[in-house]
């Protein structure tokens, strides 16, 4: 059986790792450096099947593998255009996640781990033992605790009540002149290689305490020079030291009361002698000379040495260098230097492995999604929903609203039923508007403010009976608003029942001068008057009809059980066929509402928009005893206001949204929304202006623009009431 | 494996105590989704001993009935949290990034999501798509 | 030999004294830059910078090093553009190699509303002197051939704003460059010296307490990053600041091959390749407030999938290390610089997830404020008093990745 190393065949036998097979062939998986074969150092890492930095000692050899050494200098190339699994969607890219819930996870099947597992089992606990020797490579221990494991087949997430880290101690690598030669192995690696029948040739075994340097020919070790001056010739140098180092990267990664460290991983070991020569960090090719240089330049702190000399920032995360770096610094500063913080990932994982079985926020579709597509809609995502942006021609949709009848899918609006003995009290506190005087069957436009008096959402309050209301919120703000309402009512301890209807009800806005006539055709003999609402069957479907107006024309929102959306939509489209009924998308809606000067929260407003800054003081009743934001509004009422939203008009085409507003050569604000209004024959805008002081004429896009009262269109609102 | 079904029923918000004593006519599966809220699939009539209870028709959910092997294969591995062992049982939470409700019966599991996410369920769990074979159910009046 | 080992900088340490004209708490970029400019521009060198751990141990040594000026309000654009300009001459000025590289920054938009924001951003930036243009998918593809314009079929790229002068620099080196410059001129930088309290004389702050003794000071400045609420509390100053964790991760180092910085306005993540060849990936801050520095796997998962959608080639890259910083996020997402109600106590905070780019301009302005007792015009909009006056510098849309 063979695989390829730099395009040359390498034979292997069953049970070989890639690294073992490479050593068996007389080669080295990298360009040199002592091998541990336990995954601790990274001196064996190579590109395996297009994945650089794969530890070959942990990679089982398989026929046909393509292994490549990294370049001797510089990093391996970025494989920029060749994803291994070129699929359209990264979802289901091939790596699966398996999940386990266990009582205790013990990391390490060495002496301490085995003993601990036995003790726990004797106590009747359920124990899962994870060890890289069995293919379970622990990537990290995270708060939770969550143990993330890479196995040859899949990723494994282990949720445990308790995690025991028993990763033992690792052998210490030699740091001396010649330590990057090929043919140097640690004692454990030598044992493993022998057990696999690898011929190591003549060996010399040395303890780092007695080691002076390695010498070699052609990059391969041929002599070991001892501290006492002795020289011994060898084919393979075996480093067997009494000094060990705790294998504590995982232990240094997490502090969680449910994570314990046992055995050698938790112990203090004597540090090896301070290094004087050689490569201390093979991953980043850092020498003891580099450490000395930065130390001499004043980087006299373990972390500063690490960062200035880049020692310990490579693939093995300190696996090789940590004891030597600590010894170097301790020797200089005269006190023992603590190890640097451990961070995930311990054993590396690919981005694909981290991304395995991960899904981002879903996109919502209204029940009418397919209807929109059938009508040729260009869909856009807005506030977490797919919504029609236009149906091919936004201006046609605009005119349908202004002159005929149109449908808009407003299913995405936030909707909520509230009732209960304290409901009026609760709403009075939630909204700055008076609620108590809304009569059943009537509705009112409301602002939602936060404690700072800043606008966070807006909507309608529809009173159904003395103690039952239906509330609406904006599409983008619905989820936040639901939590907001529930939290406050909970906090106040008021007796109110709350049922969110956002996903349960679809809503279709029937709008335009012919909207009322259309409703009459589908069974609503007498459509409600402006700001009234009631329940009625529309085309045989139970609807809650709310009459309001965002577009500026007569508008009826039909709220209905979402399963009937398609039926209702089709019935309305059918009934309006000879009226040239045309649905409208967001693009037309944004233009229509702008002519009316209606603000869209988040689009025209800013983080700190008070009603005053939006010219919406009329929607705030400061004489109410309390509502959210009242204290802040009262406090800031007398402060000079420095920024305000104004309406502007100008000749010619509308400038780009976001255009700066100038007075002279000073920028005093920017335009929030713009539209070239065909019906008004002028560009209409909402824009922010700073008080320097308020200017009536400004310059936008190099042209004069004037402050204008909103609504720009139908200021008396006659059309909405018609 | 079966195509998903639209689930019709009643959603009720009432005091926790009232919900403990609520009665629904017929063959009904009741999901207690919060201390003060239930969805009773299959219900058209409810009696809830709370004069302020909100009782509304609920048509926003779809469900996939899965055998345990199907569930284990397609859904369970996307669930990061422990699953209940008692039967029947309701579990709610995120799976594959979607808010799901799981109803564990003796011989099958019902995976329930709001219909706005049905297309995502199909993609993420590789479950069969929603066919428009919705059985019509008339809106009858209910007693609160 | 690794070409990125620091060879030029030299740090000189001093024995502490018991009194200084100015004591700066926090040896991060802002503290050290302030000390540097006090010394270089105002000749004030009787200054100590007190650092709890080692210099750069806070966010200044943990950030993703993006330097840009494409903010959303004129005051901010001007401030950050000035900082960007100072960065571009910092190597010359200090003689240090901070690995400054101009890369350009693309803010990707996937929806019409995001396009609208980017269009607006480009207009306002250009008007205020920060070079930003709107680019279409074809132009984006030319800049980043690796980008999947279909966004994995889920996040199609409709366009982007391209902020041309955006750059990066090695974070540690920026900290050390300022430290070296300050130290050479006699500023004392004291490591392992956490400040445990402030010394008050009536209404004035007149010094600091440390484990090794009190130090008196003419002026005390707090530049402690995410710990600011604790230090300010010693002075009796309440701040509209919350501390949130911010995480990031890098892959191993690969050969150079990825040009600009890519940031996604919807997915709220960003990526660039460091001078050492690592792909560096960051994200918006964690939503919950916390002082914890532990990293989460959820963070890795979310960013890994997001990047896979945009840049399919990243899938086979190996993740080297992830980490977390503690960010001082202000209520309006703009910095807070200047005087407090307490005499002798000035602050620089609210740097959140965006303060690395501000180190030169922030340090320079605070030095001038301390030296002259007056607030420089450039930072007047960022005074703490703006909150009580209800004049927030609201710019959430420009934080982090947006
Ligand atoms: C992951 C991450 C990515 C980021 N990416 C970017 C980016 O791309 N671009 C950008 O512009 N910004 C970025 N930032 C933000 C930026 O790093 C910070 O805003 C900036 O470094 C703040 O500098 P500072 O000097 O105010 O604080 P810090 O660097 O945090 O320094 C504060 C110092 O004060 C010390 N200290 C604390 N308490 C005490 C005490 N009691 N006594 C003495 N000393 C004390 C700390 O030890 C620390 O060294 C990022 C931040 C993080 C965490
Ligand atoms: S030889 Fe593979 S990690 Fe050390």
Is residue A676 located within the same domain as residue A651?
yes
- Note the pLDDT of residue A85: 46
A358 to C302: CB separation less than 8 angstroms, yes or no: yes
Structure tokens at A215: 């010498």
Q: What is the CATH number of the domain that holds A634?
A: 2.40.30.110
Q: Which ligand approaches the C-alpha of residue C195 most closely?
A: 1
Residue B25 sits at the chain A interface (C-beta within 8 Å):
no
Task: Report the domain count for chain B.
Answer: 1
Residue A219 sits at the chain C interface (C-beta within 8 Å):
no
- Note the pLDDT of residue B141: 30
Bridge-based pairing of strands C105-109 and C261-264 is: parallel
Residue A122 sits at the chain C interface (C-beta within 8 Å):
no
Q: Where are the alpha helices (DSSP H) in A382-477?
A: 394-403, 423-430
For B66-101, the pLDDT digits (tens) are: 999 999 999 998 999 999 999 999 999 999 999 999
Taking the centre of ligand 1 as the mean of its atom positions, its distance from the CA of residue C173, in whole angstroms, is 14
From first CA to last CA, the distance across chain C in angstroms is 39
For A298-310, the pLDDT digits (tens) are: 999 999 999 999 9
Assign B3 a pLDDT band (cuts: 50, 70, 90). Answer: confident
Query: Is the pLDDT at B50 greater than 50, yes or no?
Result: yes
For A56-73, the pLDDT digits (tens) are: 999 999 999 999 999 988
Indicate the residue among A498, A516, A551 that finishes a domain: A498
From first CA to last CA, the distance across chain A in angstroms is 86
- Note the pLDDT of residue A237: 98
Return d(Cα C169, Cα A684) in angstroms, integer: 44
Residue A87 maps to a domain? no
A354 to C300: CB separation less than 8 angstroms, yes or no: yes
Q: Please give the average per-residue pLDDT across C126-140, as a whole number.
A: 96
C101-164+243-327 architecture in CATH?
A: 2-Layer Sandwich (3.30)
Q: Which ligand approaches the C-alpha of residue C398 most closely?
A: 1
Residue A652 maps to a domain? yes
Q: Are A122 and A90 in contact, with CB atoms under 8 Å apart?
A: no
Those residues of chain A whose CB sits closer than 8 Å to some CB in chain B are 91-92, 96-99, 101, 157, 159, 357-367, 385, 417, 419-421, 467, 495, 497-499, 501, 503-504, 542, 561-564
- Helix (H/G/I), strand (E/B), else coil: B123: helix
Q: What is the CATH number of the domain that holds A526?
A: 3.30.1360.120
For C284-340, the pLDDT digits (tens) are: 999 999 999 999 999 999 999 999 999 989 988 999 999 999 999 999 999 999 999
Q: Does ligand 1 come within 6 angstroms of the Cβ of C24?
A: no
Return d(Cα C400, Cα C402) in angstroms, integer: 6
Contacts of A77 in chain C (CB under 8 A): 254-255, 257
Is residue A319 located within the same domain as residue A437?
no
Chain mean pLDDT for chain A:
95
Query: Is the pLDDT at B143 greater than 90, yes or no?
Result: no
Q: What is the phi-psi region of residue C300: left when phi exceeds 0, alpha when psi lies from -120 to 50, beta otherwise? A: alpha
Q: Please give the average per-residue pLDDT across A548-557, as a whole number.
A: 96
Q: Which ligand approaches the C-alpha of residue A185 most closely?
A: 2
A586 by Cβ neighbours in 10 Å (0-12 / 13-18 / 19+) ranks as buried
Write down the domain spans for chain C: 19-64+171-241+331-399, 101-164+243-327
Taking the centre of ligand 2 as the mean of its atom positions, its distance from the CA of residue A181, in whole angstroms, is 15
Residue A602 maps to a domain? no
The DSSP code for C347 is E
> Is C19-64+171-241+331-399 a domain of CATH 3.30.499.10?
no
Least confident of A3-17, A578-592, B93-107, B121-135: B121-135
A298 to C308: CB separation less than 8 angstroms, yes or no: no
Q: Please give the average per-residue pLDDT across C248-276, as a whole number.
A: 95
- Determine which of A146, A255, A335, A344 to mutate to test the interface with C (most C C-beta atoms within 10 Å): A344
Is residue A641 located within the same domain as residue A662?
yes
Residue A451 maps to a domain? yes
| Facing A497 at nearest CB: one of B52, B60, B117 | B52
Residue A188 maps to a domain? no
Share of chain B above pLDDT 90, in %: 76
The DSSP code for A571 is H
Q: Please give the average per-residue pLDDT across A89-108, as a whole number.
A: 83
Return d(Cα C31, Cα C343) in angstroms, integer: 19
Ligand 1 atom nearest residue C248's Cα: 1
Share of chain A above pLDDT 70, in %: 98
- Determine which of C141, C301, C350, C387 to mutate to test the interface with A (most A C-beta atoms within 10 Å): C301
Residue B98 sits at the chain A interface (C-beta within 8 Å):
yes
Please give the residue range of the domain that contains residue B61: 5-143
Q: Please give the average per-residue pLDDT across A79-90, as a whole number.
A: 53
If you take atom 27 of ligand 1, which residue's CA is the nearest one? C225
- Note the pLDDT of residue C53: 97
The verdict on whether omega for the bond into residue B23 sits within 30 degrees of 0, i.e. cis, is: no
* Chain C, window 322-361: residues with a beta carbon less than 8 angstroms from a chain A beta carbon: 322-323, 332-333
Q: Are C143 and C106 in contact, with CB atoms under 8 Å apart?
A: yes
Residue A480 maps to a domain? yes
Residue A569 maps to a domain? yes
C13 to A300: CB separation less than 8 angstroms, yes or no: yes
For A238-273, the pLDDT digits (tens) are: 999 999 999 999 999 888 899 999 999 999 999 999
Residue A88 sits at the chain C interface (C-beta within 8 Å):
yes
**Shortest alpha-carbon distance between residue B136 and chain A (Å):** 10
- Note the pLDDT of residue A662: 97
Chain mean pLDDT for chain C:
95
Task: Report the domain count for chain A.
Answer: 5
- Note the pLDDT of residue A89: 45
Return d(Cα C162, Cα C70) in angstroms, integer: 9
Q: Does ligand 1 come within 6 angstroms of the Cβ of C29?
A: yes
Q: Does ligand 1 come within 6 angstroms of the Cβ of C64?
A: yes
- What φ, ψ does residue B136 adopt, rounded to 5°? -70, 135
B116 to A364: CB separation less than 8 angstroms, yes or no: yes
Contacts of A96 in chain B (CB under 8 A): 77
Is residue A452 located within the same domain as residue A470?
yes
For A366-398, the pLDDT digits (tens) are: 999 999 999 999 999 998 899 999 999 999 999
CA proximity to C346, closest of C242, C244, C228, C240: C228
Contacts of A159 in chain B (CB under 8 A): 80, 82
Residue B53 sits at the chain A interface (C-beta within 8 Å):
yes
Taking the centre of ligand 2 as the mean of its atom positions, its distance from the CA of residue B86, in whole angstroms, is 47
Query: Is the pLDDT at C211 greater than 70, yes or no?
Result: yes
| Facing B116 at nearest CB: one of A365, A417, A542 | A365
Range list of β-strands (E), A625-665: 643-650, 660-663
- Note the pLDDT of residue C317: 93
Q: What is the phi-psi region of residue C158: left when phi exceeds 0, alpha when psi lies from -120 to 50, beta otherwise? A: alpha
- Note the pLDDT of residue A93: 59
Indicate the residue among A481, A498, A515 that finishes a domain: A498
- What φ, ψ does residue A210 adopt, rounded to 5°? -110, 5
Contacts of A636 in chain C (CB under 8 A): 390
Ligand 1 atom nearest residue C352's Cα: 19
Is residue A380 located within the same domain as residue A469?
no
| Facing A381 at nearest CB: one of C4, C111, C312 | C111
CA proximity to A474, closest of A601, A658, A288: A601
Q: Which of C27, C60, C337 to mutate to test the pocket of ligand 1 (most atoms within 8 A of CB)?
A: C60
Query: Is the pLDDT at B132 greater than 60, yes or no?
Result: no
Residue C9 sits at the chain A interface (C-beta within 8 Å):
yes
Return d(Cα A96, Cα C221) in angstroms, integer: 52
Contacts of A293 in chain C (CB under 8 A): 5, 7
Query: Is the pLDDT at C222 greater than 70, yes or no?
Result: yes
Sign (positive or negative) of CA dihedral B78, B80, B85, B88 = negative
Q: Are C246 and C286 in contact, with CB atoms under 8 Å apart?
A: yes
- Helix (H/G/I), strand (E/B), else coil: C311: coil
Indicate the residue among A476, A498, A520 that finishes a domain: A498
- Neighbouring C-alpha atoms within 13 Å toward the C-beta of C370: 37
Contacts of B84 in chain A (CB under 8 A): none
Is residue A462 located within the same domain as residue A494?
yes
Find the residue in C nearest to A690 (Cα). C391
Query: Is the pLDDT at C392 greater than 60, yes or no?
Result: yes
Contacts of A365 in chain B (CB under 8 A): 116, 119
The DSSP code for B137 is -
Q: Please give the average per-residue pLDDT across C351-369, as a whole number.
A: 97
Least confident of A89-93, A130-134, A450-454, A599-603: A89-93
| Facing C255 at nearest CB: one of A78, A91, A301 | A78
Please give the residue range of the domain that contains residue A331: 275-335
Is residue A316 located within the same domain as residue A370?
no
ipTM, two decimals: 0.96
* Chain C, window 52-81: residues with a beta carbon less than 8 angstroms from a chain A beta carbon: 53-57, 61, 74
Q: Are A597 and A710 in contact, with CB atoms under 8 Å apart?
A: yes
CA proximity to A9, closest of A30, A36, A27: A27
- What φ, ψ does residue C104 adopt, rounded to 5°? 80, 145
Assign A152 a pLDDT band (cuts: 50, 70, 90). Answer: confident
Assign A155 a pLDDT band (cuts: 50, 70, 90). Answer: very high
- Note the pLDDT of residue B1: 66
For A320-336, the pLDDT digits (tens) are: 999 999 999 999 999 99
- Note the pLDDT of residue B142: 31
CA proximity to A27, closest of A11, A13, A38: A11
Which residues are CB-contacts of B129 (< 8 A; sequence separation ≥ 6)?
B3, B4, B118, B119, B122
Share of chain A above pLDDT 90, in %: 91
Assign B137 a pLDDT band (cuts: 50, 70, 90). Answer: very low
- Note the pLDDT of residue A90: 52
For C24-77, the pLDDT digits (tens) are: 999 999 999 999 999 999 999 999 999 999 999 999 999 999 999 999 999 999
Q: What is the CATH number of the domain that holds A457?
A: 3.30.70.1400
Return d(Cα A610, Cα A616) in angstroms, integer: 8
B14 to A358: CB separation less than 8 angstroms, yes or no: no
For A561-570, the pLDDT digits (tens) are: 999 999 999 9
- Note the pLDDT of residue C402: 57
- Note the pLDDT of residue B131: 55
Q: Does ligand 1 come within 6 angstroms of the Cβ of C329?
A: no
Higher pLDDT, B126 or C250: C250
Ligand 1 atom nearest residue C356's Cα: 11
For C77-97, the pLDDT digits (tens) are: 999 999 999 999 999 999 999
Return d(Cα C77, Cα C56) in angstroms, integer: 26
Q: Please give the average per-residue pLDDT across C350-372, as a whole number.
A: 97
**Shortest alpha-carbon distance between residue B80 and chain A (Å):** 7
Q: Are C384 and C401 in contact, with CB atoms under 8 Å apart?
A: no
Query: Is the pLDDT at C399 greater than 80, yes or no?
Result: no
Is residue A521 located within the same domain as residue A557?
yes
- Note the pLDDT of residue B133: 38
Q: Please give the average per-residue pLDDT across A41-47, as a whole number.
A: 95
Return d(Cα A386, Cα A380) in angstroms, integer: 6
Structure tokens at A125: 């606990």
| Facing C394 at nearest CB: one of A290, A380, A608 | A608
Q: Please give the average per-residue pLDDT across A529-545, as a whole number.
A: 97
> Concatenated DSSP letters for A507-525?
EEEEESTTHHHHHHHTT-S
Return d(Cα C74, Cα C133) in angstroms, integer: 16
Query: Is the pLDDT at A86 greater than 60, yes or no?
Result: no
Is residue A400 located within the same domain as residue A425?
no
> Concatenated DSSP letters for B43-89?
-S-EE-S-TT-EEEEEEEEEEEEE-HHHHHHHTGGG--SPPP-SSSE
Assign A580 a pLDDT band (cuts: 50, 70, 90). Answer: very high
Is residue A402 located within the same domain as residue A485?
no
| Facing B97 at nearest CB: one of A157, A361, A498 | A361
Is residue A517 located within the same domain as residue A493?
no
A299 to C11: CB separation less than 8 angstroms, yes or no: yes
């Amino acid at each position: 059986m063979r695989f390829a190393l730099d395009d040359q065949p390498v034979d292997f036998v069953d049970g070989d790792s890639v690294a073992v097979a490479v050593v068996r062939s007389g080669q080295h998986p990298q360009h040199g450096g002592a091998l541990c074969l336990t995954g601790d150092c990274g001196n064996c890492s190579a590109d395996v099947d297009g994945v650089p930095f794969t530890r070959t000692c942990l990679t089982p050899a398989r026929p046909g593998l393509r292994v490549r050494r990294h370049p001797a200098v510089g990093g391996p190339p970025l494989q920029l255009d060749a994803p291994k699994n070129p699929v359209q969607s990264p979802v289901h890219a091939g790596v699966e996640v398996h999940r386990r819930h266990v009582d205790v996870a013990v990391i390490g099947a060495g002496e301490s781990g085995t003993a601990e597992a036995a003790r726990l089992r004797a106590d009747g606990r359920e124990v899962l033992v994870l060890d890289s020797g069995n293919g379970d490579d622990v990537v990290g221990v995270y708060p939770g605790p969550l143990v993330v494991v890479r196995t040859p087949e899949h990723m494994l997430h282990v949720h445990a009540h308790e995690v025991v880290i028993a990763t033992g101690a690792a052998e210490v690598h030699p740091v001396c002149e010649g330590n990057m030669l090929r043919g140097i192995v640690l004692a454990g690696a030598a044992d493993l290689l022998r057990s696999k029948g690898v011929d190591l040739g003549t060996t010399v075994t040395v303890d780092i305490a007695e080691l002076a340097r390695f010498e070699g020919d052609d990059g391969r070790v041929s002599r070991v020079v001892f501290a006492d001056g002795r020289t011994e010739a060898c084919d393979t140098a075996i480093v067997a030291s009494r000094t060990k180092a705790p294998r504590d990267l995982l232990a240094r990664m997490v502090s969680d009361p449910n994570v314990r460290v046992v055995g050698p991983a938790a112990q203090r070991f004597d540090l090896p002698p301070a290094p004087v020569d050689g490569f201390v960090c093979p991953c980043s090719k850092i020498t003891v000379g580099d450490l000395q240089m930065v130390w001499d330049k004043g980087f006299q702190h373990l972390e500063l040495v690490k960062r200035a000399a880049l020692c310990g920032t490579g693939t093995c995360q300190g696996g090789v260098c940590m004891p030597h770096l600590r010894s170097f610094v301790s020797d200089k500063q005269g006190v023992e230097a603590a190890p640097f913080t451990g961070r995930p990932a311990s054993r590396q994982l690919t981005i694909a492995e981290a991304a395995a079985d991960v899904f981002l926020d879903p996109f919502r579709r209204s029940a009418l999604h397919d209807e929109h597509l059938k009508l040729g809609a260009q869909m856009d995502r807005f506030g977490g929903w797919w919504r029609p942006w236009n149906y091919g021609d936004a201006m046609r949709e605009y005119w349908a609203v202004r002159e005929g009848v149109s449908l808009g899918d407003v299913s995405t609006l936030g909707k909520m039923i509230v009732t209960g003995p304290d409901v009026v009290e609760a709403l009075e506190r939630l909204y700055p508007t008076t609620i108590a005087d809304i009569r059943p069957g009537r509705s009112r436009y409301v602002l939602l403010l936060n404690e700072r008096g800043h606008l966070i959402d807006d909507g309608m309050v529809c009173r159904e009976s003395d103690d039952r209301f239906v509330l609406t919120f904006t599409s983008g703000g619905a989820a936040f608003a639901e939590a907001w309402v529930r939290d406050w009512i909970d906090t106040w301890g008021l007796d109110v029942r709350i049922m969110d209807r956002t996903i349960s009800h679809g809503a279709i806005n029937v709008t335009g001068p012919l909207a009322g006539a259309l409703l009459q055709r589908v069974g609503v003999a007498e459509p409600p008057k402006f700001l009234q609402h009631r329940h009625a069957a529309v085309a045989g479907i139970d609807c809650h009809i709310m009459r309001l107006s965002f577009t500026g024309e007569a508008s009826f929102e039909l709220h209905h059980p979402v399963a009937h959306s398609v039926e209702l939509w089709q019935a309305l489209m059918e009934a309006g066929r000879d009226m040239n009924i045309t649905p409208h998308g967001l693009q037309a809606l944004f233009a229509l509402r702008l002519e009316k000067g209606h603000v869209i929260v988040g689009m025209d407003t800013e983080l700190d928009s008070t009603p005053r800054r939006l010219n919406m003081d009329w929607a705030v009743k400061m004489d109410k005893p309390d509502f959210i934001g009242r204290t802040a509004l009262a406090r800031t009422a007398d402060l000079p206001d420095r920024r305000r939203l104004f309406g502007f008009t100008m000749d010619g085409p509308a400038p780009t949204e976001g255009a700066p507003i100038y007075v002279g050569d000073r920028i005093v604000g920017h335009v929030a929304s713009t539209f070239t209004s065909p019906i008004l024959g002028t560009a209409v805008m909402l824009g922010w202006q700073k008080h320097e002081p308020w200017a009536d004429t400004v310059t936008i896009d190099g042209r004069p623009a004037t402050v204008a009262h909103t609504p720009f269109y139908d200021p008396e609102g006659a059309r909405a009431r018609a | 494996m079966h195509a998903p079904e639209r689930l019709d029923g009643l959603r009720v918000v009432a005091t926790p105590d009232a919900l403990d004593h609520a009665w629904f006519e017929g063959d009904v599966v009741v999901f207690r989704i919060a201390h003060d809220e239930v969805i009773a699939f299959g219900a058209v009539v409810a009696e809830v001993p709370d004069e302020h209870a909100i009782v509304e028709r609920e048509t926003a959910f779809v469900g996939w009935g899965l055998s345990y092997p199907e569930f284990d294969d397609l859904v369970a591995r996307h669930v990061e949290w422990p699953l209940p062992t008692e039967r029947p049982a309701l579990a709610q939470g995120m799976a594959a990034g979607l808010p799901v409700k799981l109803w564990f019966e003796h011989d099958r599991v019902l995976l329930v999501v709001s219909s706005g996410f049905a297309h995502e369920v199909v993609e993420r769990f590789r479950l069969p798509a929603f066919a428009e074979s919705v059985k019509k159910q008339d809106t009858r009046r209910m007693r609160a | 030999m690794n070409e990125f080992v620091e060879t030029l900088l030299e740090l000189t340490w001093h024995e502490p004294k018991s009194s200084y004209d100015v004591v700066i708490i926090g040896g991060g970029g802002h503290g050290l830059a302030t000390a540097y400019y006090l010394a270089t521009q105002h000749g004030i060198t009787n200054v100590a910078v007190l650092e709890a751990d080692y210099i750069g141990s806070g966010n200044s040594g943990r950030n993703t090093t993006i330097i840009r000026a494409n903010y959303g309000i004129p005051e901010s654009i001007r401030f950050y553009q000035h900082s960007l300009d100072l960065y571009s001459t910092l190597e010359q000025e200090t003689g240090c190699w901070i690995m400054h590289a101009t890369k350009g920054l693309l803010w990707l938009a996937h929806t019409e509303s995001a396009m609208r924001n980017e269009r607006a951003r480009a207009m306002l930036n250009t008007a205020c002197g920060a070079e930003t243009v709107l680019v279409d998918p074809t132009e984006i593809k030319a800049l980043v051939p690796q980008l999947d314009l279909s966004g994995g079929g889920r996040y199609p790229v409709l366009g982007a704003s391209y902020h041309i002068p955006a750059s990066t620099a090695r974070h540690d080196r920026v900290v050390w460059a300022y430290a070296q410059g300050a130290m050479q001129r006699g500023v004392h930088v004291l490591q392992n010296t956490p400040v445990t309290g402030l010394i008050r004389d009536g209404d004035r702050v007149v010094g600091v307490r440390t484990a090794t003794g009190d130090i008196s000071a003419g002026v005390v400045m707090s530049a402690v990053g995410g710990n600011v609420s604790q230090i300010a509390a010693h002075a009796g100053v309440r701040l509209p600041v919350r501390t949130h964790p911010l995480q990031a991760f890098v892959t191993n180092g690969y050969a150079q091959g990825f040009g600009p910085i890519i940031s996604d306005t919807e997915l709220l993540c960003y990526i660039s390749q460091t001078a050492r060849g690592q792909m560096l990936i960051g994200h918006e801050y964690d939503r919950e407030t916390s002082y914890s520095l532990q990293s989460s796997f959820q963070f890795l998962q979310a960013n890994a999938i997001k990047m896979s959608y945009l840049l399919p080639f990243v899938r086979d890259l190996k993740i080297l290390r992830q980490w977390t910083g503690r960010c001082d996020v202000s209520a309006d997402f703009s910095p807070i610089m200047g005087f407090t109600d307490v005499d002798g106590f000035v602050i620089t905070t609210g740097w959140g997830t965006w303060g690395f780019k501000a180190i030169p301009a922030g340090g320079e302005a605070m030095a001038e404020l301390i030296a002259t007792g007056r607030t420089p015009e450039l930072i007047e909009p960022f005074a703490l008093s703006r909150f009580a006056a209800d004049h927030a510098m609201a710019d959430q849309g420009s934080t982090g990745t947006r």
